[in-house]
């Protein structure tokens, strides 16, 4: 009779881990996305007032990219911490750093008040934000997946992914509400409110994460004295090609969202005839569609296999991305909404399975480092540059066509690398509805 409560305890912890993963990543991505939104709307005026409008936007997007440059450093640091000391402690530290840096951005003096020191401090805080987020994603994925039942690893890993669109939705909603302010008040103090609100969210996230237990897989690694002395060295020496393929596979999963939000927001409100409030509402629509589509992609991957769903999703997005840009270019809000929603569905489904795809590729002893470094290097080199490069192509050509070609090139890279990665790491093992424990459990410790 005592076995039933014992069996329910892991289930309760798995649910708690999933919820903690979702709420934590929601907060951290909210912090990250409000920066991207502010960079598109006001940072050029507040921190780079001496530059032309076009150069100011590029400079603001460059500070946006700085966060991505810091993320691989965070991946290495927190990957090492998470693979040696445990997933929980790493996730608590990442949340404190991200929330703290974001709140301070909201209190930062502008260039008008302190001159050149203002953009320098902005860059420093952005780097801290990016550094912390570099360790957040991998830990959140693992805290959920490694607590999950064997047959639901991919599904639970996707829970952390859903935090990204929810965070985006909150970011867009906060700036949408502020769009009804006068431009003078918004520039003077209104833009600060979403950043200052992060301090409240930080407290909520900490309370939830401090109640978590360490994952069973990490406990096993520690108990068996199997922790890696230098996880990064082990990953790079034993699996260099896996890391390279993982970087490529992640590309469009992250960059597609920035094409639709950060870049498109700037393009639509400066080159096209959209108001700030209109396109912020469309950004919230993108987030809402992602919230619905992402779990659906994870469920399908659990049933039919990661490889099949990944290929179908990317093939669909190759058609729908150009359609999206064309419909936005019509300057019709209704058509833009249709284009953004349609292009978001396959990308969200693909993004949902990235976590399981990467976790499948590395053993538990170095998994935090492996998936974090791969994902964050992709962010620094390929994803974080997306708004800046897309804006450059638009400014130089005066046409959206080079931007569309750029997006399709990223998509092709992801498709080729995803197929190669799944073939190399045994992705075919999850291509059936009746996945056994060993095949999916590679996401939580199989070697």
pLDDT along the chain (447 residues), means of 10: 51 80 84 83 84 80 82 92 90 90 92 88 90 88 84 80 85 85 88 91 85 84 86 93 95 90 88 88 88 89 89 96 96 96 95 86 90 91 88 92 96 96 67 34 34
CA distance 364 to 146: 9
> What pLDDT, in 10s, does the model give residues 174-219?
888 888 888 889 888 999 999 999 888 888 888 888 888 888 888 8
For residue 92, the surrounding DSSP H or E stretch is: helix 87-106
Q: Report the sign of the C-alpha dihedral through residues 420, 292, 287, 101, in that order.
A: negative
Reduced 3-state DSSP string for 339-407: HHHHHHHHHHHHHHHHHHHHHCCCCHHHHHHHHHHHHHHHHHHHHCCHHHHHHHHHHHHCCCHHHHHHH
Instruction: Give the distance from CA 378 to its chain's centroid.
Output: 11
Class of domain 9-444: mainly alpha
Q: Is 135:372 a contact under the CB 8 Å cutoff?
A: yes
SS3 content of the chain, % helix, strand, coil (to 5): 85, 0, 15
The token pair at 98 is 């991200």
Region label for 274, one of left (φ > 0), alpha (ψ between -120 and 50) or beta (otherwise): beta
Q: Is 356:145 a contact under the CB 8 Å cutoff?
A: yes
In this structure, the number of other CB atoms found within 10 A of the CB of residue 409 comes to 12
CA distance 431 to 444: 18
pTM of the prediction? 0.80
pLDDT of residue 10: 67
pLDDT of residue 378: 92
pLDDT of residue 54: 77
In the chain, where are the structural domains located? 9-444
> What pLDDT, in 10s, does the model give residues 306-323?
899 999 999 999 999 999
Task: List, in order, residues 6 or more apart from 92 with CB less than 8 Å away.
Answer: 206, 209, 210
Q: What is the dihedral of CA 224, 363, 241, 85, to 10 degrees?
A: -60
């Amino acid at each position: 009779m005592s076995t039933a409560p014992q069996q329910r305890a892991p289930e309760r912890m798995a649910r708690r881990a999933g919820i903690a993963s979702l709420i934590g990543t929601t907060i951290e991505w909210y912090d990250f996305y409000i920066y991207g939104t502010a960079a598109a709307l006001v940072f050029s005026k507040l921190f780079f007032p001496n530059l032309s409008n076009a150069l100011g936007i590029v400079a603001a997007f460059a500070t946006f990219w700085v966060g991505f440059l810091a993320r691989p450093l965070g991946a290495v640091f927190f990957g090492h911490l998470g693979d040696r000391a445990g997933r929980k402690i790493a996730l608590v530290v990442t949340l404190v750093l991200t929330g703290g840096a974001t709140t301070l951005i909201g209190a930062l003096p502008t260039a008008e008040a302190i001159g050149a020191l203002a953009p320098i401090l902005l860059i420093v805080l952005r780097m801290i934000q990016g550094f912390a987020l570099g360790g957040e994603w991998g830990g959140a994925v693992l805290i959920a997946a490694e607590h999950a039942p064997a047959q639901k690893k991919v599904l639970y890993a996707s829970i952390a992914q859903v935090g990204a669109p929810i965070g985006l939705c909150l970011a867009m909603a906060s700036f949408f509400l502020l769009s009804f302010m006068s431009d003078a008040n918004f520039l003077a103090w209104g833009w600060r409110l979403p950043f200052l609100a992060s301090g409240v969210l930080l407290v909520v996230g900490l309370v939830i994460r401090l109640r978590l237990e360490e994952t069973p897989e990490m406990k096993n690694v520690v108990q068996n004295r199997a922790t890696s002395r230098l996880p990064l060295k082990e990953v790079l020496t034993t699996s260099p090609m896996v890391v390279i393929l993982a970087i490529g596979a992640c590309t469009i999963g992250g960059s597609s969202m920035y094409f639709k939000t950060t870049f498109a927001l700037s393009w639509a409100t400066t080159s096209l005839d959209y108001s700030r409030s209109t396109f912020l509402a469309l950004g919230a629509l993108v987030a809402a569609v992602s919230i619905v589509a992402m779990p659906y992609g994870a469920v399908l991957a659990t049933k039919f296999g990661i490889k099949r769903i990944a290929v179908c999703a990317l093939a669909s997005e190759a058609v729908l991305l150009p359609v999206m840009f064309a419909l936005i270019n019509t300057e019709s809000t209704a058509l833009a909404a249709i284009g953004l929603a349609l292009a978001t569905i396959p990308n969200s489904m693909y993004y949902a399975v990235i976590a399981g795809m990467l976790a499948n590729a590395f053993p538990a002893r170095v998994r935090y480092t492996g998936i974090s470094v791969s994902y964050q290097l992709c962010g620094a080199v390929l994803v974080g540059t997306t708004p800046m490069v897309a804006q450059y192509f638009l400014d130089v050509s005066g046409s959206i066509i080079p931007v569309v070609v750029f997006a399709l090139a990223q998509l092709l890279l992801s498709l080729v690398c995803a197929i190669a990665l799944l073939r190399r790491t045994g992705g075919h093992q999850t291509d059936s509805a009746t996945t056994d424990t060993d095949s999916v459990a590679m996401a939580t410790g199989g070697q």
